[in-house]
Amino acid sequence: MKVQLNNARNLQPGSMNRMQRMIARRILWIVIATALLAGISLAQSGTDVKQKKSPDLTGTWTTTITPPSESGAPPFKLLFTFTGDGNLLATGTAGDFPALGNPCHGVWTRTGDHTFALTYLCLDFDSSLQFTGSDKIRGTLNIDNATGQLSGRLDLTHFDTNNNLIFNGCCATAQGTRLQIEQLP
């Protein structure tokens, strides 16, 4: 069926014959139904994604690191910032020089629904800010699905200025919470 649009009479309101109006209504209802179904489908898929989404490590975490008791080192605070592209920054308050609390840089990755692996490097300096060596920290972290709390294990390897192994310390524990925005009143 051809509809001629070149005739001015066909473009004026009320000039469509009954068949043309029926076709126009059907097309309108099909467009409305398609838009409605697409909206419902998108809303449901968004809900499913939210329900299935695993905890994400991205963000800043305030942690307490507890070295193994045999180390004699007391627990200390460490800030971790995990970026969305798999990088991390860590800054802490730990120990005597060579400072264990120097800024550190590294990488992280998801290894499971609630588990993550990380490796980062720190440069150590003495009290006159001369380079004394470096540390490599490897670890595994978990996010508790119910509480959102962070926990895990960190292993430290210390190197001298020529990257020779000085010691490898096992099994410090990490506990932490995600930093939240606190809006002003």
Q: Mean pLDDT of all residues in the chain?
A: 80
pLDDT computed for residue 93 by the predictor: 73
User: Taking the mean position of all CA atoms in its chain, how far away is CA 50?
Assistant: 14
- pLDDT tens for residues 139-178? 999 999 899 999 999 999 999 999 999 988 888 999 999 9
Q: Helices marked H in 17-165 — which ranges? A: 18-52
**Confidence grade of residue 129 (pLDDT, cut at 50, 70, 90):** confident
**Mean pLDDT of all residues in 91-115:** 79
59-178: CATH topology: Lipocalin (2.40.128)
Give the closest residue to 143 by CA, choosing from 120, 119, 171, 176: 176
Alpha-carbon distance of 175 to 77, in angstroms, equals 10
Whether the full predicted model's pTM is greater than 0.75, yes or no, is: no
Query: Quick check: 150 and 178 in contact, CB under 8 A?
Result: yes
Higher model confidence: residue 29 or residue 51? Answer: 29
